[in-house]
Amino acid sequence: QVQLVESGGGLVQAGGSLRLSCAASGRTFSNYDTGWFRQAPGKEREFVAAINWSGGNTFYRDSVKGRFIISRDNAKNTVYLQMNSLKPEDTAVYYCAADRDRLFPTARVNAYDYWGQGTQVTVSS
């Protein structure tokens, strides 16, 4: 079992930046591939970015490529999502998720076994 807690969300103007953190506790976090997802009101949860267990490989949805960077520090049991050049369409609740079966690269919601509670990101125009 892995417990995930996101932080770092907030309100930012378009063009600004935010850094989300996902702190893990429980089983050895470095055993899990990890992803970030987001869900806007009235929309389905969608994949944003993923990183494999070692941090050596990353994977992004097209709309965030070149703007978002996913990284991890296994010594700190933490995954990060650096979000730059934010747009109003990035507004959503952002969730961290862990995949125990190491299916990287995968954007499927049901491939991830553990989820955090989410953190709100709001980008104003």
Span 68-116, pLDDT tens digits: 999 999 999 999 999 999 999 999 999 999 999 888 899 999 999 999 9
Long-range CB contact pairs, 111-115, < 8 A, 24+: 112/35, 112/37, 113/2, 114/1, 114/2, 114/3, 114/4, 114/32, 115/4
Residue-averaged pLDDT of the chain:
96
